[in-house]
């Protein structure tokens, strides 16, 4: 255990070199009184960063979702990424959900609804200090899943109440295309996406992930690095890697409530509730 603080109050974590050395020992490198070479450690760092970059694309391996917001400017296209309309370090490969907030005189936000300050008394007072008495109202945006479907929209320049969004994970800037096009200033777009995992670690960095990730990283690295040393990962290594990843899967899995198409659940239906019309299978 390195004893290096991982940035969270009262917690400790392993360093990159700790986990790489432990992984190498599972395949016989650096065991029995020997020491892993600097090249072995360097290769392990590359494997670790590559593995975490792969994990980033799997929802069940990412411990947290983030909600980020940016203001509507009346444009049909917004860029998501470093220096874009939503300025974040790395553009997400996909958005898990999205919604449009009708500000209704409330102050703008940037960090979405995962911070309770959003709905404090100060949040409801706009920058000019004049309390409009309005409350922000959120409306779900249905995600258009493919560019082919977005391309089939006949009147892309329609300006009205936003209901849909297409997200194109272009690189280095993702493209956020709401439809109909929302008016400037009165709307705020929120997107929910997977929090970025560390993928540019160096040998002395601390692994800033929940404790259950330490075991998964170590055993998965061992299985991943074994072919570099002319061997197959042992059944024990493979089994431990699967077990530790299943622990993370169990911890991170979130299953949304199953809904019914609104056409099958009219307002007169006793099972109707406000907002049901946006639910779908």
Pairing of strands 164-168, 174-179: antiparallel
Using CA atoms, how far apart are residues 142 and 277, in angstroms rounded to an integer? Answer: 12
Give the lowest-confidence range in 50-54, 113-117, 167-171, 205-209: 113-117
* 86 has pLDDT over 60: yes
How sure is the predictor about 175, in pLDDT bands with cuts at 50, 70 and 90? very high
Q: What is the pLDDT of residues 138-173, one digit of tens each?
A: 899 999 989 999 999 999 999 999 999 999 999 999
Alpha helical stretches, state H, the chain: 16-26, 38-55, 147-151, 212-225, 235-252
């Amino acid at each position: 255990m390195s004893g290096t603080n991982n940035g969270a109050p009262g917690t400790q974590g392993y360093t990159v070199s700790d986990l790489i050395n432990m992984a190498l020992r599972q395949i016989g490198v650096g065991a029995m009184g020997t020491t892993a070479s600097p090249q072995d450690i360097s290769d392990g760092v590359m494997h670790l960063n590559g593995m975490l970059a792969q994990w980033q694309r799997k929802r069940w391996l990412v411990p947290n979702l983030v909600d980020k917001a940016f203001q509507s400017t009346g444009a049909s296209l917004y860029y998501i990424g470093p220096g874009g309309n939503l300025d974040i370090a790395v553009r997400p490969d996909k958005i898990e959900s999205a919604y449009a907030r009708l500000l209704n005189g409330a102050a703008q936000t940037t960090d979405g609804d995962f911070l309770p300050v959003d709905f404090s008394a100060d949040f409801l007072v706009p920058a000019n200090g004049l309390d409009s008495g309005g409350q922000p109202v959120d409306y779900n945006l249905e995600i258009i899943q493919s560019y082919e479907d977005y391309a089939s929209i006949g009147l892309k320049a329609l300006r009205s109440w936003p209901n849909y969004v297409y997200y194109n994970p272009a690189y280095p800037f993702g493209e956020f295309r709401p439809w109909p096009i929302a008016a400037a200033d009165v709307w705020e777009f929120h997107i929910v996406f997977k929090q970025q995992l560390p993928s540019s670690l160096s040998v002395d960095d601390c692994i800033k992930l929940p404790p259950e990730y330490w075991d998964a990283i170590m055993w998965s690295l061992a299985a991943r690095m074994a072919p570099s040393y002319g061997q197959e990962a042992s059944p024990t290594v493979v089994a431990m890697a699967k077990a530790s990843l299943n622990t993370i899967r169990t911890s991170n899995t979130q299953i949304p409530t199953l809904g019914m198409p609104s056409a099958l659940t009219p307002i007169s239906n006793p099972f109707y509730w406000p907002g049901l019309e946006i639910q779908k299978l």
